Structure 1
Amino acid sequence: MKNVKNNDINTVSDDLDKDISWDMENIKEYDLKNENEKEHITKKDQQRIDKEYQKKIVERKKKFLESLKTENEVFDKRTLMNLYNLLVGKHVDELSGIINSGKEAVVFRAEGTDSETGELEEYAVKVYRVSNCDFKTMWKYIQGDPRFHLKRSSTRQIINAWVEKEFRNLLRAGDYINTPFAILKRENVLLMELICDEDGNPCPRLKDCKVDYEKFYAQIRDDIKTLYQDAKLVHGDLSEYNILVQDEEPVYIDFSQGVISQHPLSKTLLIRDIKNVCNFFKRKGVKTDYQEFYKHVTGSELHLLDEELAKNY
């Protein structure tokens, strides 16, 4: 699919405006308190209300698209529609900036109102760039997972499965360890809880802050064990970059590469995760032993063959 350049933003806005009838059917909410009030509104008043609401929708779309232009992000039309539909469906009220931007994905900060409490909530919206994703790598992680059955030739299906996998992994892991709560997914867009402090500031990565490293190492060892033995999951890409620090506790993010314990790559990825963790804490002066760590997690000795396979992966 052709990418939308920043200078094509008006064209995309025009395309989105063609969907105005869809928006009107799905999010029309007039300030009418009861059916009796509806009966007393004249046809002229109704047309005026329709026109005002239509203008509000168009302005909201243009504001939304302009915000993406300001952030210098480039997405295809389908992705823009998925993002806009988060606003249409009232899942979020606005996207308020970028938290992190990488080659394959960008994470937006979003704000919304809790439907039950009416309180302001902070969210993270992770968007995978369809044009930049490494589909061959994604396929390796999806292929051996019995939860997914799809054709390799369909790149759109692969990326949708990739986001679905992260969504499921977050929910599954969240029952046992600290992770962001996954709320919903729309193709290549994932909406989840924002891990932040009391003031709403995104929590820092383990890499970027100072903690009680002995305590954190012990906690992470136990969390990986719990994830493996109870949740039957392996993170698959664990490092100081994918662990946040909130209230002096580790919170684990980026579960897209996570695999279930029955996956053919589970041991290889587990060994890699353990070595990454050990290497980080060793640099911080903590005494580590990746072989003992592996036994703590799995209950078994680390076989030389498995370790060699992990080295070459």
Structure 2
Amino acid sequence: MGQKKRRVQGRRRARDMDLSSEDAQTTDPALLNLERLGHVTEVLGELKSGKEATVYLARGPRGLIALKIYRDLQARSFKNDAMYRAGRYIGDTRIEKAIAQRSARGLQAQQGIWTAHEYQRLWQLWSAGLNVPEPLVGPHPSAYTETSPAVLMRFIGDEDAAAPRLSEAVLTPDEARRAWQEALDGMAALLRLGLVHGDYSTYNLLWWENHVMMIDFPQVSDKQNPNFQTLLERDAASLSRSFTRHGVNESAESTLREVQKRARQPGPHPRVQLP
């Protein structure tokens, strides 16, 4: 009973969410499109609104959904998105030029590419057995192209609350050590696949049922990106720095060495079976 109570600390409870039926009503074209496609039957409310996207809690044919809708690129703050896009194959020089010029056509194309990239990576990681939310559209690109600028994934949490980010969760010393080890395993599993998260810290890790779940993948890069090593080192530094609030004090250098060592070992570990 005490363990259950500790897990609840730091979670955003349903009563703290904007879940009233009146507030949940919206004329957002992206939401209306998802309803038309049959992916969403009810929008329950807003879970989080950030500079890049708004995340809603919704219901669909397969249960509770975390519905992430990206903002128009003109209103977003991704000033360094070129760092993540470097090395990505587009295959159309006119689109590449429009994106580089940040023209209206380029921004529209980039919006679709950004959404499709997150779906692609989410499917790749889910299929590889990593602890990530289950994608609910796809895996064929023709399916998730229809949902742009939205990404639909299984909600991590329950009817009462969303899983907290590790940046907000209250952990015991034993839980903190477990979370640290699983966070290292997650970063190593990405590296084993030739990938780097690009924004890996407790802010993009969830704590649910005593396990770590990775989220937020639009900026994930592979080794075709010339900035790969820089992003890897930055992730190690962000992870070590963000875990200090849980009493874990590891340097960026030792964190990177440990991740690289684990990445050379067989894996990844089997995905955690959540209820």
TM-score in terms of structure 2 length: 0.73
Shift of 1:138: 2.6
Q: Which residue of 1 aligns with 2:224?
A: 262
**Aligned counterpart for 2:161 among listed residues 179, 201, 213:** 201
- 1:42-191 aligned within 5 A: 67-68=25-26, 80-114=28-62, 121-130=63-72, 131-134=74-77, 137-146=80-89, 150-151=95-96, 152=99, 153=101, 154-174=106-126, 175-184=128-137, 185=144, 186-191=147-152
SS at match of 2:45: strand
User: Following the alignment from structure 1 to structure 2, what is the Cα–Cα distance between the partners of residues 112 and 234?
Assistant: 31
1:9-51 per-residue CA deviation (whole Å, 9 max, x = no partner) reads xxxxxxxxxxxxxxxxxxxxxxxxxxxxxxxxxxxxxxxxxxx
Q: Summarize the alignment of residues 226-245 of structure 1 with structure 2, pairs less than 5 Å apart.
A: 226-229=189-192, 231-245=193-207
Runs of 4 or more off by more than 4 Å in structure 1?
Answer: 63-66
- Which secondary structure does the structure 1 equivalent of 2:39 belong to? coil
> 2-side partners of 1:122 and 1:68: how far apart?
18
How many angstroms apart in 1 are the aligned matches of 2:110 and 2:218?
Answer: 12
**2:143 is equivalent to residue 192 of structure 1:** no
Residue type of the partner of 1:221? L
Alpha-carbon separation, structure 1, partners of 2:118 and 2:34: 18
Q: Which has the higher relative contact order, 1 or 2, with Cα contacts under 8 A spaced 6 or more apart?
A: 2
Q: Distance in 2 between matches of 1:285 and 1:240?
A: 13
Q: How much has 1:233 moved relative to structure 2?
A: 1.3
The runs of 5 or more residues in structure 1 that have no matched partner are 1-62, 70-79, 115-120, 301-313
Change (3 A) 1:262 1:176: farther
CA offset digits 1:136-169 (Å, max 9, x no partner): 5333322312367542241101111111111111
Separation (CA, whole Å) in 2 of partners of 1:126 and 1:285: 32
Partners of 2:188 and 2:178 in 1: how far apart? Answer: 16
CA RMSD of aligned residues (A): 2.4
User: How far 1:104 sits from its partner (Å)?
Assistant: 2.2
Q: Please, which runs of 5 or more residues in structure 2 have no aligned partner?
A: 1-20, 138-143, 263-275
- Give the letter for the 2:183 counterpart: I
TM-score, length-scaled by structure 1: 0.64
Which residue is equivalent to 1:276? 238
Distance 1:286 1:113, change over 3 A: same
CA contact (8 A) 1:108 1:124 kept: yes
Aligned residues, how many?
A: 220
1:256/1:298 Cα in 2 relative to 1: closer, same or farther (>3 Å)? same
State the match for 1:213 in structure 2: 176
Q: 1:81 to 1:246 in 2, by over 3 A?
A: same
2:227 partner letter: L
Deviation at 1:286, TM superposition (A): 2.0
Alpha-carbon contact 2:24-2:45 (below 8 Å) kept? no
Identity of aligned residues (%): 28
| Deviation of 1:124 (Å) | 1.1
